[in-house]
Chain A
Amino acid sequence: GDSVTQMEGPVTLSEEAFLTINCTYTATGYPSLFWYVQYPGEGLQLLLKATKADDKGSNKGFEATYRKETTSFHLEKGSVQVSDSAVYFCALSDRQGAQKLVFGQGTRLTINP
């Protein structure tokens, strides 16, 4: 079945550092891809999305490009802030049936001032 694999955390960076969180997926069709963020004690918030190959999703300085050839959707940000500290989840949704979200295991990011 469909699956998502994220780089293992936790990840700790200094403020203004460059961030990459790797995400690869396995899917039988042509899924939509998402990054969700979860702040402490809260539910999930959609950070960005891409619906087809070569699409780039972006929001709040974060970017990810849908790479069909490498089945990847890596999250990047050029200069992180303390407020970016959270857990980040990569997810896919196929376009068939229930169109459920399949999540990776999450990557905890801590940014130190």
Chain B
Amino acid sequence: ETGVTQSPTHLIKTRGQQVTLRCSSQSGHNTVSWYQQALGQGPQFIFQYYREEENGRGNFPPRFSGLQFPNYSSELNVNALELDDSALYLCASSPDRISSYNEQFFGPGTRLTVL
């Protein structure tokens, strides 16, 4: 069983640029969530996708957007990058939107640095 994978591992961008991060969910999982983890902080929920539809969003501006594809893989897009967007971006998948204990399985993350 393949776990959650993310690409790229590291990325360096400059302020104002746009970036796309990718995530492949664990086999059999149809729900993908994205989190931003600033240095020394806990992860913050960005949004969740269930069966290709956005299923909830955290307190992030519209320049953070996403997609989920028919194979349940997902992309996170960030436009007009700001220095504060520098963080570890974590993708997590779960087997169903509705589950008794809502366990989410995390990928290794993409480290984004904005200069």
Contact = CB atoms under 8 A, between A and B. Distances in A.
A86 to B, nearest CB: 14
Interface in B94-115: 97-109
Main SS of chain B's interface residues?
loop
A40 to B, nearest CB: 12
A109 interface: no
A43 B104 contact: no
Interface string A82-113: 00000001010101011111111110000000
A62 to B, nearest CB: 16
Contact of A98 (B55, B90, B99, B108): B55
Contacts of A100: 33, 45, 48, 56, 58
B70 interface: no
A98 B40 CA distance: 25
Main SS of chain A's interface residues?
strand
Contacts of B40: 105-106
B72 interface: no
Interface in A29-43: 32, 34, 36, 42-43
A75 to B, nearest CB: 14
A98 B35 CA distance: 13
B2 interface: no
Contacts of B47: 98
Given A43-B90, A97-B56, A104 B102 contact: no
30 contacts: A32-B102, A42-B108, A42-B109, A44-B90, A46-B105, A89-B43, A91-B42, A93-B101, A93-B104, A95-B102, A97-B55, A97-B56, A98-B33, A98-B45, A98-B55, A99-B48, A99-B56, A99-B97, A99-B98, A100-B45, A101-B33, A101-B35, A101-B43, A101-B104, A103-B42, A103-B43, A104-B42, A105-B40, A106-B40, A106-B41
Interface of B: 4, 33, 35, 40-45, 47-48, 55-58, 90, 92, 97-109
